[in-house]
Amino acid sequence: MIALALLVASAALAAGLAATLLLRLLPTVRLQLAGLALLAATVPLAAVLLSGWVMFHMGADVKILTVTTVAALRTQRGLSQRAISSPGVSYAYISRIEAGARAPSMKALRHSQRSSASASSTSRPARHHRSSRGWPRRGSTSDR
């Protein structure tokens, strides 16, 4: 994955340098500046679109969305990584997946779906009151 990112970055740099050298052939400075402005917007956009297209075809977008969703659900419900671990999926493995150091296996993805479904049926999300954020509650005497 890092090799692909380096390849896309190198290609974007080379394309930008080549286009910049070609812009020197334009007759006026005004046209050259307009070309540079256009180039400054299109080269990074093309690099982002290319890397997104490659990630989409690799299936990495689904893994990234799954990992972030499971991590968000886990923290929203107040569950620790150790609480959702199982004999086949250790809490250290879950930690590495959430940190982006490991790609989740199909077994881990299935486990995360089961654990998030069981957690939703057994626990309620924590309720946050305004007073927990330092704001007075409605109807209290301190806000009058």
Show the domain range for 14.
2-58
The answer to whether residue 132 is domain-embedded is: no
Q: What is the pLDDT of residues 50-76, one digit of tens each?
A: 888 877 777 767 777 777 887 888 888
Q: List the helix and strand counts (H, then E) for the chain.
A: 6, 0
The answer as to whether 78 is a domain residue is yes
> In terms of domains, do 47 and 30 share one?
yes
Q: Is residue 127 part of a domain?
A: no
The count of structural domains within the chain is 2
pLDDT in tens, 23-41: 999 999 999 999 999 999 9
* pLDDT at residue 85 tops 70: yes
What is the pTM for the complete model shown?
Answer: 0.42
Pairwise pLDDT comparison (16 vs 121), residue with the higher score: 16
Please state, in angstroms and rounded to a whole number, the distance separating the CA atoms of residues 16 and 90.
46
First to last CA, the chain: 58
CB 32 within 8 A of CB 23: yes
In this structure, are 43 and 74 located in the same domain? no
Do residues 41 and 80 both lie within one domain? no
Which of 75 and 103 is assigned the larger pLDDT?
Answer: 75
SS3 state of residue 60? helix
